[in-house]
Amino acid sequence: MDLRDQWDRLLPDAQPLGDDLLARYAEQHRHYHDQRHLTEMLETIDELADLADDADTVRLAAWFHDAIYDPRADPGENEEVSAQLAELELSAYGVAAAKVTEIGRLIRLTAKHDCEPDDANGAVLCDADLRILSLSAGRYDEYAADIREEYGHIGDRDFARGRMTFLQSLAETSLYATSRGQEQWEQAARENVRRELKLWGPEAARPIAGLIPMIYLGAALGVVVAASVLLGRGLGAAPRWPATPDEVNGFPVWAPIAGTAVAAALTCAWFRRAQPRLVTIPALVFAAIGAVAIGLCWWRWPAAQPGAAMSERWPYLMLASVAILLAGALLALARRLRLAPPYALAPPRALSLGVTLVCASLLAWIVVSAGEPFVQARLETANTVSTTATMPPGVLPVQLDGELAWSREVPATGAIAGTAGGVAELRSDGVVMSDATTGQIRWRYARADVDDAASSGSRGLLVSADGRTLAAHLPYNANHAPSGIDLPTYAVLDAESGRVLTEVHTDGTALAVDANQLLVAEGRYVVAHGVSNPTHWRTQLKCSVTQGVLLADQAVVVDACGGNSAVVRGLDLADGDQRWEVDLGIRFELSAELDPATWIGELVAVPETREVSGLVWTGAAGGTLHQWSVDVGEGRILWTTPVPGTPRPRLGRSSCDAQLAATHASLVLVTCRTRTEPGEPQTYDVSAVSPADGTPQWHHLLQVPPKLQQPTFPRDGFGLLPDGRVVTLMPQPDGSCSPVMVGTTGVQPRPIVAGPTATSVADTKKVTCDKPAVTVASGRPIFSDGTRLFALN
């Protein structure tokens, strides 16, 4: 039965309409969507007629489904106008309204072939429209060639992309909706589709291109697992530092287990190609959850508060939120690439699975590893309060007349140190710099996660030789720190402006600093951390490093072992290579029973020279202190001289840490003698020698009352003025506390004189000698008694 007879059987009274439809299917631009295609569809409907609710309705829909066909139309446009034509014409010929509506619905279904499971009429029509896919290879090839002819206005590259997208979308779902079509035609159709897909690219390149979506899938899965690990770290952390034991939950193992399970489920969904929504929906869910979580973290991000540092909880939660958002984007991109023609042909499943697992493992490791520097940077930023000064420090002539220049109360401080920017105070949470002329605070640097920086004492502040660079020791409790996070333990600051030059994490002890390097001793290693340059080197020595100073081009260090071994070495500042060494053990009978860190004393560089001088205790005469000096240009000892009457360092209640300080013309030493009776004043030796040959310049004895007899008093309680005199605070017989000058003219108390301000008289009476600390800034002596900071002219 030809097409005209079939039409007359369906609508005998509508022959003009049938002629019009046949003319439409005979248009010259049709190569596949012609009368042959219509005939094959009607034959297929006859085969499936028993599966339809109304076979004639389906036949009429087939006659109209391509009645209007323009290859240049937008997707779905041809089906829509064809449905409208059917509804208009059939209504005019008296077809029942319900039947007309059903025919229009069926025609619109052919745009995407997405009929519902209980739609019998739609299933029959869609299967008939796609029957061409399951016909013989020869007929399928004719169909493919005819489709290319119809789209001749499109270039080969664009057509290949569009065609592969269409074929790949067919491969993603079941091709046929009826049970008969699935059983009898599905396999043949898939073979034809695969065969055509192979024609659209070089055989060797397509499997590689097909791996691209797998790489993005693996990246998405790895980020999902990493997000679960980061979430666990965030949930297990205490909300703030310091934390009580009940605030630390511990790492929740369920988080990474859940993340791994989700990744495994997504992998299974991906390889079940018939269910694309199993991948698309999680991508949207991840993106939504990530965006909402980022907003919550941003909203709840804690503000810095004194005494309560932000912990790693919120940075880890923020990072987990960003990761889950990224996972959604990667998953969506992988899904989109999978449908793109250049990547449509999937490689072998084993290869795809292997690439996915490798990429997932790599991305999970990268994201988790990158999380620690991110968290560390956020913690440093959130827990740091830093201000800078734009005006230079004040400069006034220094009269040294004992007049009180300024005085103010301060919180309990640690060390104080004079710098080019003023007087630096080491407080429990950082550093405060005050103007030496006015006492006004110029800048401050504080960290909320520092435990007690003031406990470091005078060794907590290091000042460069020119006074322009300051290094502050900022220890934190390692029990509070997150695992894998290395918070800074030293901050290197510009003394004049307060600008942070660098922050360094080290378990060692800083020895010296300048504008270029921070020199650190880490056991038997000397490490140079770059400050204003990227220089970084690490040199291993024979013994533990105890002292060090920086010169223009050298780092001079002393390393000492138990027994008779102590060596002074000159290391090149560019790379740490040794230039020279001097063995002190050859010149001195060193102590074998004391810790080398104890019997190797202060090391100083003499300004405007190439000379470094130091101290060492020997075992002779029950313990004798020696001074020595080395020429760093030639690497040889210039001179040595004993300092009689000094006790062994840190051995017994009468011991002390000797202080060695230098001007260009004098080496000044402050140390203590052995105390005979407890509770009695102790005799301190304050002396000066020539840096050139060790010749004595002056020597005085100072009686120190019992309450000041601390091992650190020589180091903390004495300051060296530019003219070579030494200044300290001492109790006076009348109960007052007065500065004392020691120099060529002897020991001279200088009572504090009230300055011109109205409060100066009262301020002079508030000064105590309970915890004296002394430094010199801008040539002016600065004093602290633990509760007040004051300066004298």
The answer on pLDDT for 277 being more than 70 is no
pLDDT of amino acid 203: 44
pLDDT-above-70 percentage for the chain: 87
Q: What average pLDDT score do residues 455-460 get?
A: 76
Cβ atoms of residues 557 and 547 within 8 Å:
yes
> Do 388 and 495 touch, CB atoms closer than 8 A?
no
Which residues fall within 8 angstroms of residue 614, CB to CB, at 6 or more apart?
A: 547, 558, 568, 600, 601, 602, 603, 604, 627, 628, 629, 630, 660
The residue-averaged pLDDT of 263-288 equals: 79
DSSP string of 368-385, one letter each residue: HHHHHHHHHHHHHHHTEE
Confidence of residue 14 (pLDDT cuts 50, 70, 90): confident
Q: What is the CA radius of gyration of the chain?
A: 44
Q: Which of 217-221, 573-577, 673-677 has the lowest mean pLDDT?
A: 673-677
Residue for token digits 């270029």? 516
What's the mean pLDDT in 665-669?
90
Angle in degrees, CA 339, 345, 349, rounded to 5: 110
pLDDT classification of 612: cutoffs 50, 70, 90: very high
**Both tokens assigned to 483:** 């695992």
Segment among 230-244, 364-378, 459-473, 510-524 with least mean pLDDT: 230-244
The confidence score (pLDDT) of residue 654 equals 61
> The domain 3-200: what is its CATH number?
1.10.3210
Amino acid at 737: C
Residue 274: band (very low, low, confident or very high) from pLDDT cuts 50, 70, 90: very low
225 pLDDT exceeds 70? yes
Q: What is the pLDDT of residues 302-354, one digit of tens each?
A: 776 666 778 888 889 999 999 999 999 999 888 877 766 566 556 677 888 88
Mean of the per-residue pLDDT values for the chain? 83
pLDDT for res 597:
66
- Look-up: residue for tokens 């019009």? 20
Cβ 107 vs Cβ 143: under 8 Å: no
pLDDT at 4 over 70: yes
What mean pLDDT is predicted for residues 773-787? Answer: 84
> Which CATH class for the 413-505 domain?
mainly beta
| Lowest-confidence segment of 357-371, 379-393, 646-660, 758-772 by average pLDDT | 758-772
What whole-number distance in Å separates Cα of residue 70 and Cα of residue 320?
Answer: 50
CA dihedral 66, 69, 74, 76 (to 10 degrees): -10
**Spatial distance between the Cα atoms of 179 and 193, rounded to a whole number of angstroms:** 20
User: Rounded CA gap, 136 and 687, in Å?
Assistant: 111
Among 71-80, 185-194, 481-490, 580-589, name the one with the lowest average pLDDT: 481-490
Query: In this predicted model, what pLDDT tens digit does every residue of 186-213 receive, in sequence order?
Result: 899 888 888 887 776 544 345 566 678 8
Q: Are strands 611-618 and 490-494 parallel, antiparallel or unpaired?
A: unpaired
* Domain extent listing, the chain: 3-200, 205-383, 413-505, 507-604+613-644, 649-793
pLDDT of residue 586: 79
Q: CB 467: neighbour CB atoms within 10 A?
A: 18
H or E element that contains 742: strand 737-743
pLDDT in tens, 132-148: 988 998 888 888 888 88
pLDDT confidence of residue 204: 39
Rounded CA gap, 517 and 506, in Å? 14
pLDDT for position 542: 87
Q: Going by C-beta distance under 8 Å and a sequence separation of 6 or more, which residues neighbour residue 593?
A: 619
Pick the CATH number of 507-604+613-644 from 2.130.10.10, 1.10.4190.10, 3.90.550.10, 3.90.1640.30: 2.130.10.10
> Does residue 758 have a pLDDT over 50?
no
Query: Is the pLDDT confidence value at 256 over 50?
Result: yes
Mean pLDDT of 510-527: 92
The half-sphere exposure of 691 on its side-chain side, counting CA atoms within 13 A, is 23
Least confident among 322-326, 579-583, 594-598, 711-715: 594-598
As given in the structure block, the two tokens for residue 404 are 């009180």
Q: What was the pLDDT predicted at 8? A: 85
Kindly state the average pLDDT of the residues 650-665: 77
Would you say residue 528 has pLDDT above 90? yes
320-346: string of b/e by CB count within 10 Å (b at 16+)?
Answer: bbbbbbbbbbbbbbbbebbbebbbbbb
- CA geometry: angle at 281 spanning 280 and 284, to 5°? 90
Choice among 79-83, 224-228, 407-411, 574-578 with the minimum mean pLDDT: 407-411
pLDDT digits (tens, 9 = 90+) for 404-453: 788 888 776 678 899 999 999 988 888 999 888 888 889 999 888 887 77
pLDDT of residue 252: 86
Q: Please name the residue ranges forming H helices in 272-311.
A: 277-300
Give the model's pLDDT for residue 413.
67
- The most confident of 272-276, 651-655, 669-673, by mean pLDDT: 669-673
C-alpha atoms less than 13 angstroms from C-alpha of 499 in its C-beta half-sphere: 10
Contact 276, 335 (CB under 8 A): yes
Distance CA 382, CA 328 (A): 29
What is the rounded average pLDDT of the residues 575-589?
86
- The predicted-structure confidence for 347-358, as pLDDT tens digits, reads as follows 677 888 888 899
pLDDT for position 500: 92
Backbone angles phi, psi at 285, to 5 degrees: -65, -45
Query: For residue 571, what pLDDT band results from cuts at 50, 70 and 90?
Result: very high
Scan for tokens 């009929």, then name that residue: 115
